[in-house]
Structure formats: structure tokens, C-alpha cells
Amino acid sequence: MKWTMTSLALLVASQTSAATLSAQLDKQLPSLEQLYLHLHQNPELSYHEVQSSKRLADEFKALGMNVTEGVGGHGVVALFQNGEGPTIMIRADTDGLPITEETGKPYASKVTTVNASNQTVGVMHGCGHDIHMTSLVGTAKQLMNNKSLWKGTLMLVAQPAEEVGGGAKAMLKEGLFSKYAKPDYVLGLHVSANLPAGKVAVAPGYALANVDSVDITVKGKGGHGAYPHTTIDPVVIASRLVLALQTITSREISPLKPSVITVGSIHGGSKHNVISDEVKLQLTLRSYDPEVRDQQVATIKRMAKGIALSAGLPDELMPSVYVHEEERIPSTYNEPELAVKVKASIETAIGQSNVEKSEPVMAGEDFGLYGRTDEHVPISIFWLGAVEPTFYTQSVAAGKTLPSLHSSKFAPDYPLTIKTGVTAMTQSALDLFNQQ
């Protein structure tokens, strides 16, 4: 009976705090929606997140947190120690994309910038980072306004340059886990363009992929298009290579291990009747297993050289294969035990019917770096549904493709998405703070 009464008391206390948090969030939603609209209408590209980071820093300072700006570029770290307990880090990314928004929304971004090619391009939060930032602020308000409900250290990280794979690296290199705090857990969320708002999906284990960018320069001996026998045509060599690359996944890597090798760009030549001296290819590689990633790179180098040799090219004209190590993003591995806990917490917060188990995707996210340090910190990121529910249902029923992340037409149902994100993240953090 004693155990039953204690359990009942804990259940009542939990339900009471949940009701209190929900009522508080309802009051905060108008200001959070205004914050979202501000961030959405003022996106900043990677490495230029000056105003976005300042706004988040000001929000955290207003809550009484210890805030450090300029970490790893325009990163922000906010800390609050609330007695003895675990350190929980919650991360949001802050950068936008060079996309001209075409959603037709009255609050659409009209920001433009000039890119490296001196072209004027639009800037848009086409990957939901405005939702991520707003949810982080909303979660911070919930936790800081209810400090009696948890004990430990809250660590909030506003991370720049996620879209180019540089932000997490820079913040970790600057001592994120040594100068500030070493977290016991790291949590994150990411909007989903394939899930209705109000729902959440969690993938224990691998959630997102290794991502590598590779440049290949295929060389040759150019000449007149009318006399191909006097040349060694790099267009033909490059074409052979493109086809050969497809056999790496189908014939060299185990079919039980996911692998994607895509040639996204091929450029060579300048005129109909001129055989050029070189052709340039740009590739993206995707995998989960680090060994598969290494096999992809090694095999690409072997094939490129082998095909060039078979075409009769001398050693000095062998293809060059350049792997952009500075842009490399490791796969995101949701520590299974933590992911299960997070899933259970979110089910408590928004209902079991609104939480799904998701499958891994081949997109990349530098969030995975936080779990690949020497400290081996458990991490977990969940998908936050962002599609207006009625539009989602109608689109699925009609077999229509939904606007994807990075689409100029991606427009989240921001009021419901923000409410769900804050509720889910707050409950996840509270349960981790209070676990026995």
C-alpha cells in the first residue's frame, strides 16, 4: 500500500507540473511566435549569424543565465547551475540557406545577399532552423521559470554554420566540453517535412548519415573534335568513371550496409568541336558505418586511376581526387538507451499516438559530432513534425509530394510545431534531470 500511495503521489505531482507547464506555455506562445517570425524574416547565412546569435544571447540573459557569445564563430553558450544533478545540453542551429523563398506567406523572407560568384541570391530558413531556435528559447523559459522541478546544470548551445558542416567542429575545437561544461546528455530536435505538426518521430541508433563532398578532376589531352584519335578525351574518361562509380555500392560494399554515391555535377569543355583538357566532377557520399565511408573514398581513388591508365594517360595526368575533410560530417548515432528514454518522455508529454519510431535517413547533420568526442557523450535528436496536418492528409491521399527541407516552398505550421517542440524538449530534459 505504501508503494502504491507513493507512486500515486508522484503521478499526481507529475500531472500537476505538466498542467502548469502547459498553461505557462500557452501564455508564452504569442511571444514565441513573434520571435519565430522575426527569425524567419531575418535569416543569415552560415558564418554570418551575427544578429541571430545576439537575439538568442539576449533571450538567455533575460532569463538569468550565464551567457558566452562568439564561441566557434557566432556560437552562443548559456549555462545555469541549479543544484546537484546531471548536465544536460540542448542544441539548436542558427544559419539559413541561399534560397529565394517562394511560399507566398505574408511573412516570407525578402532578405537577399551577394554570393561568392557576385550573384544576388535570396536567403531563407528553408531547413527549419528558425523553429529550432524558437523551440530552444521556449524550452529555456519553461525550465528557468520552473527551477523547482529539476536539479542539475542546464546548458544551451546556439550553434552556427550547420549547413556547411563547420559549426559543431568549431565550437568543440574551442573547448565547448572543456571550457564550459561536459554534458551528461545532449539533446536536439529537427523539423520534418514528412511528418504532420503535432507529431514527433525518434530513431534509436543511426539517424542521419556520414556526408562527404568529393571533387574529381579528370585530365586528358585535348584537341580538335574532328580528330579525336589524336587526343585522349577526358569527357569519355569521365563518363566511364561516372558509370563505374555506381558499381561501388552495388558490387563492392555489402548490401547490408547502406551506401550512396551521387555525381551531382559534371563540367568539361567549352565548344562543340573542341575536346578539352579536363573535366570536373562533384560528388556527395553518404553512409552510416565509418568503414563504409573509408571504402567509398579508397575505391573512388582506385577506379579513377585505373580508368585513366586504361585510356593511356601518363602518370603526370592521373586524375586528382580531393575529399573536403573540412566539410566532413559524421553520421548521427542516437544512443539507443537515451533515445528510448526521450521517446517515453515525449509520449508522456504529447500522447503515445503522436510519437513514432522513424527510420534512418541519408541526410546529414553535424549534431552527430557531439557524440563522437573523446568523452563519448550520449546524444539523441528527434524529428519534429512541421507540416500543417490537413495539408499533410490531403497531400498523402492525393499522392502529392510534400515540399521538402531546403525547398523554396517549405512552410512549417509554426504555431503547432513550436508548441510541440517546446513541450517535447522540456519534458525530455525534466525527466533526464530527475531520473534516479
Mean pLDDT to the nearest integer, 390-408: 97
Q: pLDDT class for 326, splitting at 50, 70, 90?
A: confident
Active site residue 374: no
In the predicted model, is pLDDT for residue 14 greater than 90?
Answer: no
Residue 154 has pLDDT above 80, yes or no: yes
* Residues paired with 281 in a beta bridge: 216, 266
b or e along 325-340 (b: 16 or more beta carbons within 10 Å of the residue's beta carbon)?
A: eeebbbbbbbbeebbe
Q: Report how far residue 79's alpha carbon sits from residue 6's, in angstroms, rounded to the nearest whole number.
A: 33
- Backbone φ/ψ region at 172: left (φ over 0), alpha (ψ -120 to 50), beta: alpha
pLDDT at 408 over 90: yes
- What does the alpha-carbon distance between residue 73 and residue 77 come to, in Å, rounded to a whole number? 12
Backbone angles phi, psi at 405, to 5 degrees: -60, 145
The pLDDT, as a whole number, for residue 4 is: 52
pLDDT band at residue 327 using 50, 70 and 90 as cut-offs: confident
In the chain, % of residues over pLDDT 70: 96
The secondary structure element, H or E, covering residue 24 is helix 2-41
Say if residue 166's pLDDT is above 60: yes
Percent composition of the chain: helix, strand, coil (DSSP 3-state, to 5): 45, 25, 30
Judging by beta carbons within 10 Å of its beta carbon (0-12, 13-18, 19+), is residue 250 exposed, middle or buried?
Answer: exposed
Strand runs (DSSP E) across 329-392, as ranges? 332-334, 355-357, 379-387
Helix axes 129-144, 2-41, angle to 10 degrees: 140
pLDDT at 375: 81
Does pLDDT of 300 surpass 70? yes
CB 327 within 8 A of CB 47: no
Upper half-sphere CA count for residue 53 (Cβ side, 13 Å): 27
**Averaged pLDDT, 320-332:** 94
Given the residues 162, 212, 289, 365, select the one marked as catalytic: 162
- pLDDT above 70 (res 1): no
* Residue 60 clears pLDDT 80, i.e. is over it: yes
| Per-residue pLDDT at 371 | 96
Q: Given a cut of 80, is residue 285 above it in pLDDT?
A: yes
Q: What is the dihedral of CA 75, 203, 357, 402, to 10 degrees?
A: 60
> What is the model's pTM?
0.92
Q: What is the CB-side half-sphere exposure of residue 4 using CA atoms within 13 A?
A: 1
Average pLDDT over residues 297-326: 97
Listed in sequence order, the residues at least 6 apart from 271 whose beta carbon sits closer than 8 Å to its beta carbon are none
Average pLDDT over residues 404-427: 98
Average pLDDT, the chain: 95
pLDDT confidence tier of residue 133, bands split at 50, 70 and 90: very high
Give the count of alpha carbons within 13 A of 343, CB side only: 18
> Which one from 44, 59, 95, 233 is the annotated catalytic residue?
95
41 contacts 110 by C-beta, under 8 angstroms:
yes
CB neighbourhood size of 226 (10 A): 8
Please write the tens of the pLDDT for every residue from 235-266: 999 999 999 999 999 999 999 999 999 999 99
Which pLDDT value is given to residue 373?
86
Question: pLDDT-based confidence at 115, cuts 50/70/90?
Answer: confident
> Does the pLDDT of residue 18 top 70, yes or no?
yes
Residue 428 has pLDDT above 70, yes or no: yes
Look up cell 584519335; give the residue: 229
pLDDT reported for residue 322: 98
